[in-house]
Amino acid sequence: MISMGNRYTVRGFDGEVTLMGTNGWYLRNEFATRFPKQKAELYLGLDVGAVYGYGADLYNGHTMMGAAVGLRGSIDTVSYDVFAAMPIRKPEGFHTSDVTSGFSLGVKF
């Protein structure tokens, strides 16, 4: 089984409900510009994916697409990633938020 529609697969979806099937694929694309002095990177993401097989017929459609904008970088030993994302294409009847946002923090010891 493959499941998609969250921040780790096809961005732009809140992950409350995912698109699942026995087979599928997803592609994540990023365009980024670095700010070396600030140790930061501004990025735009465009993701697409599809599922097939058992479980994929739950919704009227098998394909999803989403976009994201974010900023990631590091300050001393702390790394961060802040983003906002939105769905562009989803199966009919697939419920998700219009905009999803989030962040992650990491510390190096």
Positive or negative, the Cα torsion across 83, 72, 68, 28? negative
Averaged pLDDT score across all residues of the chain: 94
DSSP E strand boundaries for 1-109: 2-4, 19-21, 23-35, 40-52, 63-75, 78-89, 100-107
Please check the confidence at residue 55 and state whether its pLDDT lies above 90: no
Reported as a single tens digit per residue, the pLDDT across 2-48 is 999 999 999 999 999 999 999 999 999 999 999 999 999 999 999 99
Q: Determine how β-strand 40-52 pairs with β-strand 63-75.
A: antiparallel
Q: What is the mean pLDDT of residues 53-63?
A: 83
DSSP 9: S
